[in-house]
Structure 1
């Protein structure tokens, strides 16, 4: 059985030496261990985000691929933000490691520090031991903190590596999705252009069919030479007279008024309206045109009278006069009709 200590000072010295020895053993166990500060590391919150759902680029529309691309970019931004946060924390921890190493250094450097601290204390043994204990306690606390931080760093590093891999994969997926979107958008634009061209071709074919039908029915239209000749002459007699919208003579005319007035001299009644005249006449082909036949222009908004030799006579527009122009005078031709 150990003998009880009876001298107060001696007991104090023994207690100090015992504490110092225990602390120094603890310090030695930590010598050379990588140090990091506590509280700087925050675990990556939650489970790792799942990669955006797979998509069949060959079957998906440009709009679907664009939505998928947006999901990938959102996921990539979130992963990159988490990665930056963890890397910032790790950099701060490494800064603490560097500072700790500078403060305490190797075992030999620590021994020199302890020796200097003891030698600077009073000669009395209790004072020296107390100085040693204080220094050892400071190191013990620091290395205890370092041990906890080192364990946290060990957990942090694989998470950083995992996030770096995830960001790299998402970057590659985003590149593939962008290329697929560009290709799909180009293909859809080409398809729309082709559809528009097909629709235009169908409309043109329909118009040609309608014109052909009009031409076919026109071949049976009877041509009244006397009425046509009289109408052409009447129209020529009005050359130089002013255009006035809605006028039908005797000294001013609009386009349909001139035609109605010209045929009225032969007792042929036509409505003073281009659209009505279209319905009141028979369709013919361009190659069947004879003097006195009618030519409609600009969506049936204008009518002129053919006078032969590729020319027509008409009342063009406000500010103009009755005059002769080329059959193809720059306005789109809707068709050819016979009274």
Structure 2
């Protein structure tokens, strides 16, 4: 098929690669404009999709909006069979959704109607969902309200947001190609009205660890914000990020619900940290301006003794 691809972050790159590998004709890649970044934010950094599309020889377009007549005329002139959308980041007006012969199909990283919206992967982890997946959705005007043609499932387990993002990108890429190979075999099915939840955009303030909640919830907070924006706590005025951690349900001392300490207390010389219920031990931490390191490396350069209240 003649495909217009629309995507921006790393999540979208495997979808683009798989479409090309399957022999589809990706005639243009739409992506968000380059953003300030690089050293001290002085360089304009192209999106992952722009970099990959250019490497594949695919023409790249990065309009600020698709609402204007010029942007819409340029898209219509491509005469695409279908639009494939994966985390593009711009709202598509109904006129754009209707332009391709088969409309626009979206790779959405949840099992709709659960977690419609901007941050479905993080919200699934934070909520303690046992299962998540991807939905190939026929796009409509509402927020992720369109009918679903195909879905693929996976367990959440102990995965980080980074782990799940990569896994769901691959699942979504394979599912999209499956649908495009025989689109009539996958008719759009309306989403049920019940069990709808919304995945609000992540606020960086949510990444500050609240030690008063249970260890299982703290663990989910750490995994949901790894690798970005990273869960963090403060000690001696310095912000310390935790990328991975283990729950301590038992050990030389009882770290259960009756452990006689306050939340946020350092329990031992390996940085076990009390929570409102149970405790966690970081595996990988990061100080400001430095790279991630193991808890042993971290404590050699930045000791935090037992009894410290974080």
TM-score by length of 1: 0.19
- The higher relative CO (CA closer than 8 Å, separation ≥ 6) is in 1
> Quick check: which has more Rg, 1 or 2?
1
* TM-score of the pair, normalised by structure 2: 0.20
The structure where helix makes up a greater share of residues is 1
Bigger strand fraction? 2
